Amino acid sequence: MNRRLQGLYAITEDRALSAGEACVAVEAALRGGASLVQYRDKSGDHRRRLAAATALRVLCTRYRVPLLINDDVELARAVGADGVHLGRDDLDVRQARARLPDHSLIGVSCYNRFELAQRAVDAGADYVAFGSFFASPTKPQAVAATPDLLRRARTELSVPTVAIGGISPENGAALV
């Protein structure tokens, strides 16, 4: 297993965060043990997103923790991020891999569908993510995934699996 893909995977809130706000939140997660950070901002404010991603890149480098950019291969390239996390409406894994440096990490959201995960692995994904496991204010309409899906993925897939969606210190132990 890729040693960079173990442990707590922190995802920034899906709202417009300034560079300073993003760094404060992410540094708290890093101090708390996050071993991977995903910058997620669906807004169209390119300058703010670039500033925040650049600041997070510096912070994550200082902590020696990989930074992934959600959905935006070009932003990942621009800030020298360690990779991207792709959803259903993004580039496919092969297209993203062609646009990024060879060592880049690529993860794929597979929701509650094992067959999407298998296709992502076959295409060269470094990890797959399932969820939502719990209600999430970020994605209130997200499909529900079950712990059985994580068990199956761990047994049948050759890449790490990430659980996402409404996970907190209070409910996360059941997924670990």
Interval 79-112: pLDDT, tens: 999 999 999 889 999 999 999 999 999 999 999 9
Q: What is the mean pLDDT of the chain?
A: 92
d(CA 173, CA 87): 26
pTM check: above 0.85: yes
Reply yes or no on whether the pLDDT at 145 is more than 90. yes
> DSSP assignment of 48-61, as one string?
HHHHHHHHHHHHHH
Which of 4, 35, 104, 109 is catalytic? The answer is 109
Grade residue 156 by pLDDT with cuts at 50, 70 and 90.
very high
pLDDT given for residue 140 in this prediction: 77
Quickly count: other Cβ atoms within 10 Å of residue 53's Cβ.
Answer: 23
Catalytic residue flag (residue 139)? yes
Contact (Cβ atoms closer than 8 angstroms) between residue 116 and residue 108: yes
Of the chain, the percentage scoring pLDDT greater than 90 comes to 73
Catalytic residue flag (residue 109)? yes
Average pLDDT on 120-141 reads: 90
Average pLDDT on 59-75 reads: 97
pLDDT given for residue 1 in this prediction: 43
Contact (Cβ atoms closer than 8 angstroms) between residue 90 and residue 96: yes
Which of 48, 113, 119, 139 is catalytic? The answer is 139
Reply yes or no on whether the pLDDT at 2 is more than 70. no
Average pLDDT on 122-131 reads: 96
Which of 4, 40, 49, 57 is catalytic? The answer is 40
Comparing 14 with 75, the larger pLDDT belongs to 75
d(CA 117, CA 86): 12
In which element (H, E) is residue 83 found? strand 83-86
The sign of the dihedral angle between the CA atoms of 166, 170, 171, 176 is: positive
pLDDT in tens, 4-23: 678 899 999 867 778 898 99
